A and B are shown apart, each in its own frame.
Chain A
Amino acid sequence: MTATTSTRTSVASPREATAAILANVVLVVIALCFLLPLAWLILASLDVKATYQTQIPDQLSLANFAAVFNPELTFRPLWNSLLLSGGAAVVTVLASVLAAYPLSRYAMRFNKPFMYGVLFGTCLPITAIMVPVYSLFVRLNLLDSIPATIFFLAATSLPMAIWMTKNFMDSVPVSLEEAAWVDGASAMNALRRIVVPLMRPGLSVVFIFVFIQAWGNFFVPFVLLLSPSKQPAAVSIYSFFGQYGAIAYGQLAAFSVLYSVPVILLYVLVSRGMGGSFTMSGAIKG
């Protein structure tokens, strides 16, 4: 590391240069600490004789992947995951676009209380109170129903989604719709043909955000879906661990990798496409 290292500060005194080197070193150590636990996952998935120890496999093999690559263990749970998270994301985006439109475009008396209520709902630890949710589902006869679980997942992400969607919609200029209204388009037509196409990047952020959350959720399907044929990968992987976890570490790791890849790809898509800070600003800005 020489003095040519570009730092953000223009006045590069020797002290600043030392500080920059120190910052680099500390960050590299932090990165190693964060990656170390993940090394096991990758190495074990490629090792037929994997244990809980992190070790370089004697020979790299895809046998673990081949072993879990069957409908019973992998495809059906992954399909159920897709159904649950895709369904929840579609329902959430539709409901939040429809709700955000009047909230963003018309100054109504209940806008403020409604948005406060939504903000309040964002904070409630709903996914921590699965016990009353379970007994409510028993009472409504909705237990072990995939559609009901989709609606529950959608409802829990809806407050955050409405909040984000409204912020994105506020930045679409209203003058374009006014032109459409003058031409005789109804409000719903203007929303469908003008506003939604303009906020496509924002909506895909909301969609992917909800999808990733639902895909990774374990507790909700664990409590609400009982029959193994309906359970998503998160739950089936947990039962697999309970049954064979003590012997088939390699297969457990391989299954975990297969199950994680889709959300990692989606995350890369979002962060490449629009930048992490953009995603955050939609969610956080008051």
Chain B
Amino acid sequence: MLPLAPAVMLLAIFLLGPVIWSFYGSFTDAALSGSSAQDPQWVGLDNYLTLFKDPVFPLSLWLTFVFVVASAIIGQNVLGLGIALLMNRASTVVSAVVGTAVVAAWVLPEIVAAFVAYAYFSKDGTLNQVLAAAGMTGPNWLYSFPMLSIILANAWRGTAFSMMVYRAALNDVPVEVTEAAMIDGADGIKRLTWITIPMIKNSIATNLMLITLQTLSVFTLIWVMTAGGPGNESTTLPIMAFQEAFKFGDIGYGTAIATVMLLIGAAFSLVYIRALRPEKV
């Protein structure tokens, strides 16, 4: 019992604490400075009523949804699975090189990855240089297509995780099973849909869950690349909460947005834990 104490205390103060504080704080008018900073008043559901009337909120919710689906569920997940499958067919040297290239973007500290992505998509950055070499004039990506830029950047940064999960999972698929299907005349696509994917479906579920939650909380990449702009065109929920709290000084309102994010995360976690049902806990 006693050895559990340090972990339980840390979790209670610094993990459970913020969660409870988030619910409590969202019912107050706490501010960054001024009299409400010293002595926040209980305002009931005011923050939530403002939130549901705020035109930025549905937009932000939608952008977060688009960001997660496009960059994590489609981008990282499908690309990661694709790379892992191709690696099984390619030569070992090529596999190693691709593995290193993909992991390199993932190992970099997030702020460095964000600068690199900013430089890449900026008006006279590398992407437009490549397009110019092909005879095309590229747009100002970060300004004209902010969502597309952050979606591509996040896929670039995060694919490595899915790739590693699927490499490990594919290694556990016995060769005999796929070979048997091959002898029975199943082509590559059939083997993939009827044999490989059903056999790694637990890894797919785990991976989808983890990358969804990671992408939901992406802040640094978007903050450095577009800061939510232009206007609110790339303001996902973490950016919106940060702006309301630290730019406009309304901590209580920012906390209400954070609470909404917590609830979304908690809902996802429950689905995940139910689906996984760890037997050996």
Contacts and interface: CB of A to CB of B under 8 A. Distances in A.
A87 B21 CA distance: 25
A19 interface: yes
A111 interface: yes
B109 A260 contact: yes
Contacts of B278: 115-116, 119, 286
A79 interface: no
Interface residues of A, number: 99
B126 interface: yes
A198 interface: no
A126 B281 CA distance: 23
B11 A158 contact: yes
B264 to A, nearest CB: 8
A206 to B, nearest CB: 13
Nearest to A28: B94
A132 B258 contact: yes
Interface stretch (A48-56, A58-66, A67-75, A175-183): A48-56
Contact of B165 (A234, A259, A280): A280
A3 interface: no
Contacts of A36: 120, 126, 130
Interface in A77-104: 91, 94-96, 98-99, 101-103
A41 B111 CA distance: 13
B220 interface: yes
Given A129-B258, A267-B103, A284-B168, 14 more contacts: A7-B89, A9-B179, A19-B188, A27-B94, A27-B98, A30-B101, A99-B3, A116-B278, A123-B266, A123-B269, A125-B216, A125-B262, A158-B7, A286-B277
Interface of A: 5-11, 19-20, 23-24, 26-28, 30-32, 34-41, 44, 51-54, 91, 94-96, 98-99, 101-103, 111-112, 114-116, 119-136, 139, 151-152, 154-156, 158-159, 162, 170, 188, 212, 215-219, 223, 233-234, 237-238, 241, 249, 252, 256, 259-260, 263-264, 267, 276-277, 280-281, 284, 286
